[in-house]
Amino acid sequence: MEAIGLFATGVLVGYVAWLRADFLVGVLILPFVANYATRRWSTFAMTFGYFGAGNIELPDIVGRFFAHPNPLVQFVAPLALTALLAAPFLIYAAGARPWVRILTWFAALLVLSVPPVGLFAWHNPLFLAGSLYPHAGLLGIVLTALLLATMAGLRGRVGPRAGLLAALMAASGFYAVHYAHFAMGTPAVNWGAVPTNAPPASTPHAQTERTAAAIRIMHEAIPLSGFSAFVFPESTIEPYRPVDELMLFEPSNLAAKHHEALVFGAVIEDGHGGWRDVVMGAGTMANQDGTPRILTDARVPMPVGNWHLGLPGGAPLHAFSTDRGTIGNSPVAWSICYEDTILWPHWFLLTGNPAALVALDDDWVLSGTRAARAQAISAHQLARMAGVLLVDAVND
């Protein structure tokens, strides 16, 4: 009965906490309730319920992504992912002395957030750092982990743990009050994120039409906006072909004449069933001959859908590459689609001093799902952690 009750608690917290960024404070319930677990498997059941609530729509999303999905991938993979994300909390020493519970909960959060598990860990409770410790960067994540761990060790004679908890809450109050009315970033360029509503193209003709539609938007926006940089979504051009390079030559030159940068996502096929999910720059970001140039690759493509876990095809994994980039004279932190949902790739964002978090997303298969909402909340929280402007271009 203990495990069932904790599982139900985890499901409820996982469902409600990710409805809105303001509701993420609900994840504080998890370590508090863990105090009353007497067995490790009960804590596992609670966190399995929490992550399972976030993964409940994955079978439907896999069905949208693949024309003929493998039933094993569609139904078993979400369960395996949920178990993987809950597994670190088997470290938690349920029923042990308070300081042991604190240390083991902190260790579980650490394992959850770094590779290999951290490459899959969306719905990470540490995204709460954006609400509790805005503008604190990596320090805010550490403080949030300490706060959650301290709550996991409250049961028993409180003693000095009460002082630690009070100090962490006081620090949260300081950050929340100090930055309550602080503008999120002061970029050196005037940013413009361009949302699109383009379905996937399955034929060469449809691919050309999709590129032509994006170029029409560029042509219409460039002379009227006054922006210094336009950002278009991930996979705006998919796949990127020689004809697309020719089609982009005119808007690239037009943007350069207006001293504007064009930033867009593209898919570059390698001819062997694989591809690169890249960000490209045109206008003032183009090569000297006016052709678009690659600014960055995705570091952690979406597992199974894009990143094939070492199997043939798919996009390569660059888990230890930097998220740092530059647009004009402004340093930026990149985030491409799935990367919005995990903490690991964002080291420059959290430890450097970027002008903005530039996120490029293709959420067509996620439209109307809780997964799309969770991704938007995660990107918002990442920007709040760093205290920077979020420039989020989405295709949905």
Please tell me what DSSP assigns to residue 185.
Answer: -
Give residue-wise pLDDT tens across range 143-158.
Answer: 999 999 998 988 766 5
Tokens of 119: 């490459």
What is the distance, to the nearest Å, from the Cα of residue 270 to the centroid of all Cα atoms in its chain? 26
Across the chain, mean pLDDT equals 88
Residue 307 has pLDDT above 60, yes or no: yes
Between 367 and 148, the higher pLDDT residue: 148
Q: How far apart are CA 147 and CA 166, in angstroms?
A: 9
8 Å CB contact between 318 and 339? no
Question: CB of 295 within 8 A of CB of 322?
Answer: no
Name all contacts of 304-311 with Cβ < 8 Å and 24+ positions apart.
304/62, 304/73, 304/77, 305/62, 305/65, 305/66, 306/277, 306/338
DSSP 292: -
pLDDT (0 to 100) of residue 306? 76
Looking at the chain, which residues constitute the CATH 3.60.110.10 domain(s)? 191-395
Lowest-confidence pick of 86-90, 142-146, 183-187, 391-395: 183-187
- Tokens describing residue 249: 């030559």
pLDDT, residue 191, reads: 82
Residue 182 in this model has a pLDDT that exceeds 80 = no
CA distance 318 to 340: 15
Omega prior to 116 cis, within 30 of 0: yes
Q: What's at 258, amino acid-wise?
A: H
Distance CA 123, CA 202 (A): 32
Burial of 294 (0-12, 13-18, 19+ CB in 10 A): middle
Give this prediction's pTM. 0.92
Tokens of 386: 């760093």
Cα 43 to chain center, whole Å?
26
Instruction: Measure the CA–CA gap between 356 and 292, rounded to whole angstroms.
Output: 22
Phi then psi dihedrals of residue 148, to 5 deg: -60, -40
Per-residue model confidence (pLDDT) at position 163: 64
Contacts of 52 (CB under 8 A, 6+ apart): 10, 11, 14, 82
- What does DSSP say about strands 330-336 and 324-327: parallel, antiparallel, or unpaired? antiparallel
Given a contact cutoff of 8 angstroms between Cβ atoms, the answer to whether 295 and 336 are in contact is: no
CATH of domain 191-395: 3.60.110.10
Write down the pLDDT at residue 157.
60
State which amino acid sits at residue 287.
Answer: N
The mean per-residue pLDDT over the stretch 41-67 comes to: 89
How far is the CA of 114 from the CAs of 64, 118, 307, 347, in angstroms?
A: 29, 4, 18, 12
- The residues, any chain, with a CB within 8 Å of residue 12's CB and separated by 6 or more, are 53
On the question of pLDDT at 106 being above 90, the answer is yes
Record the tokens describing residue 110, joined without a space: 């650490």
Most confident of 85-89, 257-261, 324-328: 85-89
Instruction: Give residue 270's pLDDT.
Output: 83
The percentage of the chain sitting over the pLDDT mark of 90, rounded to a whole number, equals 57
- Kindly report, residue by residue over 238-255, the tens digit of the pLDDT: 889 988 888 999 999 999
Residue 34 clears pLDDT 60, i.e. is over it: yes
DSSP-assigned letters across all residues of 19-57: S-GGGGGGGGHHHHHHTT--SHHHHHHHHHHHHHHHHTT
